[in-house]
C-alpha cells in the first residue's frame, strides 16, 4: 500500500469524523443540553448536569471516531469471494509504533483530563450531592446549613428536623437558597435516598450517618425513591417533597412542630443514628432496650409484642 | 528421550515394580459414575445433610416463628454438593489415594455416552461445559423474559413483589455465574491445550472437577427458588442478607461452590499455559486468546477466594449467630459490600477479557491480515487484570465511604479504560486496508466491537462521581453492564462458537441460519438495552416493579424487543441441533483457512491431540505473507530438542512417546 493511498484514506476519515463530531456536539449542546437529567433545580443537580454534558461532548467524538472508521472499513475494504484468501497488508501490518504511542498518549490525556474535571466538579458543589459519610470533607461555604435527617426503613422514608424539635414527617419540605445537609441513616437494611430532581443520592446504612449536601435554587416538587434493593416493597418505597420559599418553609416547620408536639414526645430521642429494636433487621434476637455492647447481655429476646 | 513421559501417560510397569492394588471396583454401565448417579447423590446428600442439621441445631430458627432452620438448609446443600460430586466419580481418585491404593483410570470410551460422565480428555470436558453453559444461559434468559413481562406495566403486576425480586436475583446470579465460566469452560478448556501444542491440561482431574462443581452450583442456585427465593439481588447486600429466608442460604452456598470451581479452573489454565507450551512457543508466539485466558485465570485464582470468604461469613452470620455483617453487635454492613466488590470487580473483567481474546483471534482470519499490535493487545490484557484489583470502590461511591477515597477510585477506574481501549486499537488496526469476509464469526466479532464501545463509554460516565450520583442504582447501570457483558462477552462467545464448532464437533453449522441469528440478536439486543439508558436517566431505579407512568412507553418498547431477542436464540438452537444431530454435514479440517495451531489438527481431533509434540516456529498471525511460515513443525525430530541439529535435516529419531523411531503412539496420553 503506497503512502499516498494511506494518506488518502486517512484524510478522508479525518474529514468525515471532524464534520460529524462538530455537528453532533453542537446539536447535542443546544438541543439536548438543557434537558439533561437531573435538571438544574439545585446546585448539585446543575453540577451533575454540566458534568454529564461535558463528558458527553467528549464521548461523542470518541464514539464517532470508532464508528466512522468501522463503517468506512466495512464498506471500503470488504473482500469479495475470489481471492479472498490472498494476503494483505505486508510485513508492516503487524504494528506501527507511532500509531500505538499516539493512541496511548491520546487516551491517557483524555482520561486524565476527564479525571481532573470530574474531581473539580465533585469538590466545588460541596460533594456533588453524593453521600460523603459521617465526616464530609467538601461542605458548603456558608455556615448556615439546615440539617435534615432522612430515616430509611423497610419500606418508607421519613424525615426529622432537629432544628425544629425533631418532629418526623413523611413529606420532605425544603427552603430555597439554603444549604441543606441530609443526614441519611437506616433502621434496618441498606436503603438509598435518591431525591431525583435535587441531584442527591446517599446510601442509608444502619448505624451510620451519611451526609450529603445541596442547595435548592428553584421552587418546585421533587420525587424521592429508594435506589438500593431493600426487600419486598423496595419498588414501592418512594415519596415526594417540595421546595418552598423561605418564609413559607419556616411557617410550615413551626406549625408542624406545634401540631406534632405530642407525637414527637413519643418518638425516640433525636440522634444521628439509631439502634434498631426488636422490630428491626435482627428480628427479635436482640432484646428491646438493652445496649448490645453492655456487659450485661440478656439473650432470649422478648417478642415484639413484649411478652 | 529428553524426558521419560511413560509413567505419566500410564505405560505399565515402568521401572519394573509390581502394579499396586487397585480399589474402587469398576461398576458397569448404569452404576458407574454419570450425571444420573450424580443427581441421586445430590438428592441423597441433601436429605442426609438436612437431617443432620436438624439434629445438631434442633430448635434453632433465625426469625421467630417461621420454622426455618438455616443450619439444616446449609448442611443439606453442602452435603448435597458432595453427594453430587461423589456420584459423578470426582471423589474416586482422592479417596483411593487416601487409603493408599491405585484408582482405576476411567475406561476410554468412544461412544456418545462418554459425555454424560466424568472424562479426562479436555475436549470432552470442553463440550460438556458448552452444554452446561448454554443451559445456564437459557435459564437466565427465561428469567429475564419474566422480568420484562413484569415491567410491561407500572401498576398492574404479573408477579408478586417477593417473587419478582427473587426472579431478578436468580437471573442476575445465574447469568453472572454462567458468564464467569462461559469462555473458560467451553472454549478455554477445549482450545488452550491445542493452541499451545500440548496433549493435555495440567490437571485433567481438576478440570473435570471444576465442570461438575459448576453444574452443582447451578443446581444449588436454582434450589433457591423452591426455598422461597432470595431478596437481595445478585449482589447479596447485608444486612438484608442476614434477614432473608432460606433461599439466601442457597445463594451463599452456591457462590461458595461456584467459587471453588472458578479457583480450580483458574489455576489449572494458568499452570497449563505456563508449563505445557510446546517447544518453540515463546511468549511472543502465544496466541492472543491464550493471553486473555492467562489474564483471566490470574483473576479467577486471586479474586475468587475473597468471595468464598465473604460467603462463609454470611453463612456463619445466618447459622452460628456471628456478627460479621450485623452492626448492632460490632460488625459492619460495609464489610460485605467491600468484600463482595473486591471480588466483584475483577469478576467483571473475568467476563470481559476472554471476549477480547476471542475477537482478536477471529479478526485476523477474516481480514487476512496479521493482528495489529499483538504486544499492545497482550499488555492491555495484563494491564486490565492488574488494575482491576484497584477499582472496586466505584460501586460504593455514595455509600458513605471516606470521601477522599472517591477521587482516588475515580482515577483508577478511569485509568483502567486505557488498557481496555487497546482492544479497539488492535481491532481497528487489523481492519485497516484488509479484505473482510463477512462470515458469521466475523459478524459477531464486529457486533462485539460496536456494543462494547457503548458499554465502555457508559462506564466512563459511571466512573465520574458527580454523574454517578445521578445514575448509580438506576437502569443506566443496568444498560451499561448488559452492553459490556452481553453485548461484549456473549456476542464474542457466540462468534467463537460459530468459529470453532466445526473443529470441536466436526460438523458444519448452517451459514444462513447463523446470519439470521446474528442479525436478529444484534438488532433486538440494541433495541432492548439502548432505551434503558434513558429509562435510568429519567429516574427509574433498578430492581423495582413499579415505575413512573411516563416511562411505560420506553419499558414496553424494551420488553417487546427483549421477547424478540429471546426468540433469536431459538434460531441458534435450531441451527445447533439440526446441523449437529439431525442433518450433519462433515466439516473440513480448516474451513476458515486459519493459521492457528489448533486448526492444523485433523477433524475430529484425536484424543491425544498431536501425534508428535509440535515444534512451534512462528505466531499464528502471518497472514500478510504470500508463503506464510507454517506455524509449527508437526513432525519434529528429537535432535531438534537436543539442540544439535536444526529442523529440516535428514537425521531422524521420532519424538513419539514410545521412543521408537517413526511410530505414533495411538494410546490416549492419560490411560
Domain membership flag for residue A154: yes
Q: Which of A63, A88, A111 sits opposite B369 (nearest CB)?
A: A88
A25 has pLDDT over 50: yes
Judge whether A107 lies within some domain: yes
Report which secondary-structure segment, H or E, holds B143: helix B122-150
Q: β-strand A238-244 against A172-175: which pairing, if any?
A: parallel
In order of A21, B319, B372, B377, the CA distances from B423 in angstroms are 23, 46, 10, 6
Alpha helices in B245-287 (DSSP H): 247-275
Query: Across the interface, do B402 and A188 touch by the CB < 8 Å criterion?
Result: no
Q: Which residues of B touch A293 (CB under 8 A)?
A: 330
Q: At residue B642, does pLDDT exceed 50?
A: no
pLDDT of residue B494: 95
In order of A241, A270, B450, the CA distances from A254 in angstroms are 17, 17, 57
Residues of A (56-95) whose Cβ lies below 8 Å from B: 56, 59, 62-63, 66-67, 69-70, 73-74, 77-79, 83-91, 93-95
C-alpha cell at A1: 500500500
Q: Higher-confidence residue: B543 or A275?
A: B543
- The cell numbers describing B357, all together, are 481474546
Task: Look at residue A87 and tell me if it is in a domain.
Answer: no
**Chain CA centroid to CA B526, Å:** 24
- The pTM assigned to this predicted structure is 0.89
Cβ–Cβ gap A190/B404 under 8 Å: no
Using the beta-carbon criterion (under 8 Å), do B368 and A100 form an inter-chain contact? no
Residues A107 and A176 in one domain: no
User: CB of B103 within 8 A of CB of B278?
Assistant: no
Whether A81 shows a pLDDT value over 80: the answer reads: no
Number of structural domains found in chain A: 2
Other CB atoms within 10 A of residue A214 CB? 27
Residue B649 banded pLDDT, cuts 50, 70, 90: very low
CB contact under 8 Å between A118 and B367, yes or no, is no
Query: A176 and A97 in contact (C-beta within 8 Å)?
Result: no
pLDDT value, residue B173 = 95
Q: Can you tell me the mean pLDDT for B593-600?
A: 90
Using the 3D structure, point to which of A235, A251, A266 is the last residue of a domain. Answer: A266
Give the other-Cβ count within 10 Å of B127's Cβ: 19
Q: What is the pLDDT of residue A306?
A: 36
Residue B24 pLDDT = 53
Which among B323, B461, B470, B621 is the top mutation candidate for probing chain A, defined by the most A β-carbons within 10 Å of its own β-carbon?
Answer: B470
Residues 245-284 of A with CB under 8 A from B: 275-276, 281-284
- Contact A142/B at CB under 8 A: no
Q: Cβ atoms within 10 A of the Cβ of B508, count? A: 16
Q: What Å distances lie between residue B249 and B69, B172, B231, B259, CA to CA?
A: 10, 16, 12, 15
Find the CATH number of the domain harbouring A212. Answer: 2.60.40.420
Nearest CA in chain B to A127: B466
Nearest Cα neighbor of B593 from B452, B499, B529 is B499
Mean pLDDT, to the nearest integer, of B352-379? 93
Residues A120 and A208 reside in one and the same domain: no
With respect to residue A290, please indicate whether it lies within any of the assigned structural domains: no
What residues of A are in contact with residue B399 (Cβ under 8 Å)?
A: 131, 190, 203, 205, 210
For residues B105-116, average pLDDT:
73
Q: How far apart are CA A135 and CA B21, in angstroms?
A: 69
Residue A299 lies in a domain: no
Q: Identify whether A215 is part of a domain.
A: yes
Q: What backbone torsions phi and psi does residue B83 show, to the nearest 5 degrees?
A: -60, -40
The model's pLDDT over B221-234, given as tens digits with 9 standing for 90+, comes to: 999 999 999 999 99
Residues in B closer than 8 angstroms to A47, CB to CB, are 466
Q: What is the pLDDT of residue B640?
A: 46
Total number of residues shown for chain A: 307
Q: In which domain, by residue range, is A262 found? A: 146-266
Q: Which residues on adjacent β-strands are paired with residue B654?
A: B637
| Best residue of B400, B548, B620 to probe chain A, by most A CBs closer than 10 Å | B400
Boundaries of every domain in chain B: 119-582
Q: In the prediction, which pLDDT does B671 show?
A: 30
Asked if residue A254 and residue A158 are part of one domain, the reply reads: yes
pLDDT at A23: 96
pLDDT band at B380 (very low <50, low <70, confident <90, very high): very high
Establish if A95 belongs to a structural domain: no
Locus of grid cell 477506574 = B413
Q: Please, which residues bridge with residue A224 across strands?
A: A195, A239
Q: What percent of chain B has pLDDT over 70?
A: 87
Sheet holding A220-226, edge to edge: A172-175, A238-244, A220-226, A191-195, A200-204
Q: What is the mean pLDDT of residues A112-122?
A: 93
**CA A230/CA A216 separation, integer angstroms:** 28
Whether chain B has a CB inside 8 Å of the CB on A118: the answer is yes
Facing residue for B399 by CB, picked from A104, A203, A225: A203
> In terms of domains, do A248 and A171 share one?
yes
b/e sequence B8-31, b meaning 16+ C-beta within 10 Å: ebeeeeeeeeeeeeeebeeeeeee
Instruction: Examine the domain organization and report whether A245 and A151 are in the same domain.
Output: yes
Return the number of other C-beta atoms located less than 10 Å from residue B638's C-beta: 19
The residue assigned the cell 463530531 is A21
Q: Is residue A43 part of a domain?
A: yes
Q: Which of A66, A138, A230 sits opposite B403 (nearest CB)?
A: A138
Which region among A263-267, B358-362, B366-370, B626-630 has the lowest average model confidence (pLDDT)?
Answer: B626-630
Gap from A60 CA to chain B (nearest CA, Å): 9
Confidence of residue A279 (pLDDT cuts 50, 70, 90): very low
Identity of the residue in B373, B421, B450 whose CB atom sits nearest the CB atom of A107: B421
The mean pLDDT of chain B is 87
Name the residue among B127, B116, B121, B26 with its Cα closest to residue B670: B121
Alpha-carbon radius of gyration of chain A: 28
Closest residue of chain B to A80, computed from CA coordinates? B437
Q: Among 1.10.10.410, 3.40.50.720, 1.20.210.10, 3.40.50.300, name the CATH number for the domain at B119-582.
A: 1.20.210.10
- Give the confidence band of A127 by pLDDT, cuts at 50, 70, 90: confident
C-alpha cell at B473: 442504582
Taking the C-alpha atoms of residue A199 and residue A129, their distance in angstroms, rounded to an integer, is 6
The answer to whether residue A106 neighbours chain B at the CB level (below 8 Å) is no
CA-based torsion, B393, B357, B170, B477: positive or negative: positive
Contact A79 B435 (CB under 8 A): yes
Nearest to A89 among B421, B437, B624 (CB): B624
3-state secondary structure B431-450: HCCCCECCCHHHHHHHHHHH
Write out the three cell numbers for A224.
Answer: 424521592
pLDDT at residue B182 in the model: 80
Contacts of B3 (CB under 8 A, 6+ apart): none
Measured between beta carbons, the chain A residues lying within 8 angstroms of B372 are 93-96
* Cα(A249)–Cα(A266) distance, integer angstroms: 25
Query: Among the listed ranges B78-82, B210-214, B411-415, B657-661, which one has the minimum average pLDDT value?
Result: B657-661
Q: Is the dihedral of CA B83, B89, B92, B93 positive or negative?
A: negative
Per-residue pLDDT at B553: 95
Residues in chain A closer than 8 A to B242 (CB atoms): 281-282
Cα angle at B279 between B273 and B280, to 5 degrees? 100
How do residues A214-236 score in pLDDT, each as one tens digit? 999 999 999 999 999 999 999 88
Contact list in B for residue A79 (CB cut-off 8 A) is: 368, 434-437
**φ, ψ dihedrals at B511, nearest 5°:** -70, -40
**Secondary structure letter of residue B652 according to DSSP:** -
Q: How many CB pairs under 8 A join A and B?
A: 321
Taking alpha carbons only, the member of B605, B574, B577 closest to residue B589 is: B605
Print the SS3 string covering B173-200.
HHHHHHHHHCCHHHHHHHHHHHHCCCCC
Q: Are residues A162 and A238 in the same domain?
A: yes
Q: Name, in order, each residue with C-beta under 8 angstroms of A150's C-beta and a sequence gap of 6 or more.
A: A157, A158, A159, A172, A182, A183, A184, A185, A193, A202, A204
Residue written as grid cell 492457528: B596
pLDDT (0 to 100) of residue B668: 41
Mean pLDDT of B566-591: 92
**Reported ipTM:** 0.89
Q: Compare CB distances from A111 to B239, B415, B621 and report the shortest one's residue.
A: B415
Are the Cβ atoms of A231 and B333 closer than 8 angstroms?
Answer: no
Contacts of A52 in chain B (CB under 8 A): 461, 467, 470
Nearest beta carbon to residue A119 from set B328, B410, B449: B410
**A93 and B432: CB-CB below 8 Å?**
yes
Residue that wins the pLDDT comparison between B656 and A50: A50
Other CB atoms within a 10 A radius of the CB of residue B416 amount to: 23
Instruction: Output the CA torsion sign for B318, B320, B323, B329.
Output: positive
Amino acid at each position: 500500500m503506497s503512502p499516498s493511498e494511506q494518506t488518502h484514506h486517512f484524510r478522508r476519515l479525518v474529514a468525515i469524523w471532524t464534520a460529524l463530531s462538530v455537528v453532533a456536539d453542537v446539536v447535542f449542546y443546544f438541543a439536548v443540553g438543557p434537558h439533561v437529567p437531573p435538571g438544574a433545580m439545585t446546585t448539585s443537580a446543575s453540577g451533575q448536569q454540566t458534568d454529564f454534558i461535558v463528558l458527553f461532548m467528549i464521548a461523542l467524538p470518541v464514539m464517532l471516531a470508532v464508528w466512522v472508521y468501522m463503517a468506512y472499513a466495512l464498506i471500503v475494504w470488504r473482500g469479495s469471494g475470489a481471492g479472498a484468501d490472498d494476503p494483505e497488508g505486508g510485513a508492516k501490518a503487524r504494528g506501527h509504533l507511532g500509531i500505538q504511542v499516539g493512541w496511548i498518549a491520546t487516551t491517557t490525556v483524555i482520561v486524565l483530563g476527564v479525571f481532573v474535571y470530574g474531581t473539580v466538579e465533585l469538590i466545588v458543589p460541596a460533594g456533588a450531592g453524593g453521600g460523603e459519610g459521617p465526616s464530609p470533607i467538601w461542605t458548603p461555604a456558608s455556615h448556615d446549613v439546615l440539617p435534615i435527617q432522612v430515616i430509611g426503613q423497610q419500606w418508607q422514608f421519613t424525615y426529622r428536623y432537629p432544628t425544629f424539635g425533631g418532629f418526623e414527617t413523611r413529606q420532605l419540605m425544603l427552603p430555597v437558597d439554603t444549604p441543606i445537609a441530609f443526614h441519611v441513616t437506616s433502621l434496618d437494611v441498606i436503603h438509598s435516598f435518591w431525591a431525583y430532581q435535587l441531584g442527591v443520592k446517599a446510601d442509608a446504612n444502619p448505624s451510620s450517618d451519611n451526609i450529603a449536601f445541596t442547595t435548592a435554587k428553584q421552587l418546585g416538587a421533587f420525587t424521592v425513591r429508594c435506589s438500593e434493593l431493600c426487600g419486598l416493597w423496595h419498588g414501592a418505597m418512594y415519596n415526594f417533597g417540595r421546595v418552598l420559599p423561605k418564609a413559607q418553609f419556616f411557617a410550615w416547620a413551626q406549625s408542624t412542630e406545634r401540631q406534632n408536639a405530642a407525637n414527637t414526645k413519643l418518638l425516640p430521642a433525636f440522634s444521628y443514628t439509631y439502634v434498631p429494636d426488636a422490630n428491626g433487621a435482627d428480628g427479635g434476637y436482640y432484646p428491646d432496650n438493652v445496649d448490645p455492647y453492655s456487659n450485661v447481655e440478656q439473650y432470649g429476646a422478648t417478642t415484639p409484642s413484649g411478652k | 528421550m529428553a524426558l521419560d513421559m511413560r509413567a505419566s501417560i500410564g505405560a505399565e510397569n515402568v521401572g519394573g515394580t509390581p502394579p499396586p492394588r487397585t480399589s474402587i471396583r469398576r461398576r458397569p454401565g448404569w452404576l458407574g459414575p454419570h450425571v444420573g448417579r450424580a443427581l441421586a447423590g445430590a438428592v441423597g446428600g441433601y436429605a442426609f445433610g438436612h437431617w443432620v442439621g436438624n439434629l445438631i441445631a434442633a430448635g434453632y430458627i433465625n426469625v421467630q416463628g417461621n420454622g426455618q432452620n438455616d443450619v439444616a438448609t446449609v448442611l443439606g446443600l453442602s452435603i448435597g454438593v458432595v453427594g453430587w460430586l461423589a456420584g459423578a466419580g470426582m471423589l474416586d481418585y482422592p479417596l483411593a489415594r487416601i487409603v493408599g491404593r491405585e484408582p482405576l483410570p476411567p475406561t476410554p470410551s468412544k461412544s456418545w455416552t462418554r459425555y454424560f460422565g466424568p472424562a479426562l480428555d479436555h475436549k470432552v470436558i470442553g463440550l460438556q461445559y458448552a452444554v452446561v453453559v448454554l443451559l445456564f444461559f437459557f435459564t437466565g434468559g427465561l428469567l429475564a423474559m419474566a422480568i420484562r413481562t413484569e415491567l410491561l406495566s407500572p401498576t398492574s403486576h404479573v408477579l408478586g413483589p417477593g417473587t419478582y425480586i427473587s426472579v431478578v436475583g436468580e437471573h442476575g446470579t445465574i447469568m453472572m455465574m454462567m458468564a464467569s465460566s462461559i469462555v473458560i469452560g467451553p472454549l478455554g478448556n477445549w482450545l488452550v491445550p491445542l493452541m499451545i501444542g500440548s496433549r493435555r491440561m495440567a490437571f485433567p482431574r481438576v478440570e473435570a472437577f471444576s465442570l461438575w462443581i459448576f453444574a452443582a452450583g447451578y443446581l444449588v442456585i436454582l434450589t433457591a427458588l423452591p426455598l422461597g427465593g432470595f431478596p437481595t439481588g445478585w449482589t447479596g447486600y447485608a444486612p438484608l442478607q442476614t434477614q432473608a429466608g432460606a433461599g439466601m442460604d442457597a445463594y451463599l452456598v452456591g457462590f461458595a461452590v461456584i467459587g471453588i470451581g472458578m479457583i480450580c479452573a483458574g489455576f489449572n489454565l494458568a499452570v497449563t499455559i505456563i508449563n505445557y507450551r510446546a517447544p518453540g512457543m515463546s511468549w511472543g508466539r502465544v496466541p492472543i486468546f491464550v493471553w486473555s485466558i492467562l489474564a483471566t485465570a490470574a483473576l479467577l485464582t486471586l479474586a475468587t477466594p475473597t468471595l468464598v470468604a465473604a460467603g462463609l461469613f454470611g453463612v456463619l452470620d445466618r447459622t452460628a449467630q456471628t456478627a460479621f455483617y450485623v452492626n448492632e453487635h460490632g460488625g459492619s454492613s460495609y464489610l460485605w459490600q467491600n468484600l463482595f466488590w473486591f471480588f466483584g470487580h475483577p469478576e467483571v473483567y473475568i467476563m470481559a477479557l476472554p471476549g477480547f481474546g476471542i475477537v482478536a483471534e477471529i479478526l485476523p482470519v477474516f481480514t487476512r491480515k496479521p493482528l495489529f499490535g499483538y504486544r499492545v493487545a497482550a499488555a492491555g490484557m495484563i494491564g486490565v487484570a492488574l488494575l482491576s484489583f484497584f477499582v472496586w470502590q466505584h460501586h460504593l461511591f455514595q455509600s458513605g465511604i471516606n470521601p477522599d477515597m472517591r477521587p482516588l477510585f475515580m482515577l483508577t477506574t478511569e485509568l483502567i479504560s486505557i488498557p481496555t481501549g487497546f482492544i479497539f486499537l488492535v481491532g481497528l488496526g487489523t481492519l485497516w486496508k484488509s479484505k473482510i469476509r463477512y462470515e458469521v464469526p466475523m459478524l459477531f466479532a464486529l457486533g462485539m466491537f460496536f456494543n462494547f464501545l457503548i458499554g465502555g463509554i457508559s462506564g466512563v460516565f459511571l466512573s465520574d462521581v458527580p454523574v454517578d450520583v445521578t445514575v448509580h442504582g438506576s437502569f443506566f447501570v443496568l444498560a451499561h453492564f448488559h452492553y459490556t457483558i452481553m453485548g461484549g462477552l456473549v456476542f464474542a462467545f457466540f462468534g467463537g462458537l460459530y468459529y470453532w464448532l466445526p473443529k470441536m464437533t466436526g460438523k458444519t453449522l448452517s451459514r444462513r441460519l447463523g446470519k439470521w441469528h446474528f442479525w436478529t440478536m444484534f438488532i433486538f439486543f440494541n433495541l432492548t438495552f439502548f432505551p434503558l439508558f434513558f429509562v435510568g436517566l429519567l429516574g427509574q431505579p433498578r430492581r423495582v416493579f413499579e415505575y413512573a407512568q411516563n416511562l411505560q412507553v420506553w419499558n414496553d418498547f424494551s420488553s417487546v424487543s427483549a421477547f424478540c431477542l429471546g426468540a433469536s436464540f431459538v434460531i441458534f438452537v435450531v441451527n445447533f441441533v439440526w446441523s449437529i444431530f439431525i442433518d450433519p454435514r462433515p466439516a473440513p479440517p480448516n474451513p476458515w483457512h486459519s493459521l492457528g495451531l489448533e486448526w492444523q489438527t485433523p477433524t475430529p481431533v484425536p484424543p491425544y491431540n498431536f501425534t508428535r509434540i509440535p515444534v512451534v516456529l512462528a505466531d499464528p498471525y502471518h497472514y500478510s505473507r504470500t508463503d506464510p511460515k507454517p506455524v509449527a513443525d508437526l513432525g519434529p525430530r528429537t535432535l531438534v530438542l537436543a539442540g544439535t541439529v536444526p529442523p529440516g535435516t535428514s537425521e531422524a529419531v521420532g519424538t513419539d512417546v514410545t521412543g521408537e523411531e517413526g511410530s505414533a503412539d495411538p494410546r490416549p496420553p492419560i490411560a
